[in-house]
Amino acid sequence: MPRNDSFAARRRFLQSLGAGAGMALFTRRGLFAETLKLKPTASTTEGPFYPDKMPLDTDNDLLIINDSITPAVGEVTYLTGRVLTTTAQPIKNAFVEIWQVDSTASYVHTKGRQPTGNDQNFQGYGRFLTDSKGEYYFRTIKPISYTLMGAFRTAHIHFAISKNGKRMFTTQLLVKGLPDNARDGVVKNIDPKALDTLLVDFRPIAASRIGELAANFDLVLGQTLEELEDGKLRGGVAISEVQHPRR
C-alpha cells in the first residue's frame, strides 16, 4: 500500500471510531424485537496460538504497529460487528480480542511462525472494548489458509470475549464460500446447523481505490446480561489487562 494511502486509511478509520461514522460503510441489520430469540454464535476451540507474548501494539488497527510508516501486507479489511445476547440486547464494555496469521501464515506466537519468516509489520493481535451499542471495530487483513506444524487450517480469525475480567466465549470467524472450509478438521467438528453463524462475507468497498474489504460479524452469546454481569464465569483476561496490557 502506498505510504500516503496507508496514512489516509488509518486516519479515516480512527476518525470513524470517534464519530461513529464507520458503520456507514457497511449494510447493517436492524435491531430485533426483544421477543425475538437470536441464534447463538457457535463456540470453537481457542487454538494453541493465542499470543504467548503480546505485541508492542495491541490496539484495533492491526496494519500499523505504533507509529511505523510501513503497513502490513494483505487485503485490507474493515472488520466490524456487535456483541449481543440472544434477545438482541447489546453487551457494552465487552473486551473483544482477535488474533490471526499474517500474509506469511505466521502467528504472534513463538511456536506459531513459519521457518521462512513473518511479516514484522503485522500486529497479529488486537483488542477493543465494545461501545454502548455493543459494537466493535478492527482494521486487519483478510485471513488466509495455511499449514503450520503439519496441520492444515482454512482461513479464519480467532475471537475471544471477556466481561468483568472473565473469559466467557471463544470462536473463529470463517470466510464464507471458501472451498478450503470443507477440508478443515476444526470446521468438520462443528454442527452443520451452527456453522452458518461463523461464515462471513468479505465484500469490496465500492469507494475504495486500493481494494479494501468490509466484513461484518455479529457475535450472539447464549447468556443473559444478568449472567454476564454476575462475575461467576470461568477465568480469563484480567480487568487490569485491559488497561495495562502485557508486553
- 78, 107, 136, 137: the catalytic one is 107
- 82, 109, 158, 167: the catalytic one is 158
Task: Pull the grid cell for residue 143.
Answer: 485471513
Q: What are phi and psi of 126, to 5 degrees?
A: -150, 165
156 has catalytic annotation: yes
78 has catalytic annotation: no
172, β-bridge pairs = 158
- 82, 109, 156, 167: the catalytic one is 156
Q: Quote the DSSP letter at residue 217.
A: -
96, β-bridge pairs = 128, 161
- 113, 125, 146, 167: the catalytic one is 146
Query: Does residue 222 sit in helix, strand or coil?
Result: coil
The bridge status of strand 156-163 relative to strand 95-99 is: antiparallel
244 has catalytic annotation: no
Query: Cell 500516503 maps to which residue?
Result: 4
* First vs last C-alpha separation in the chain: 28
User: Which residues participate in catalysis according to the annotation?
Assistant: 107, 146, 153, 156, 158
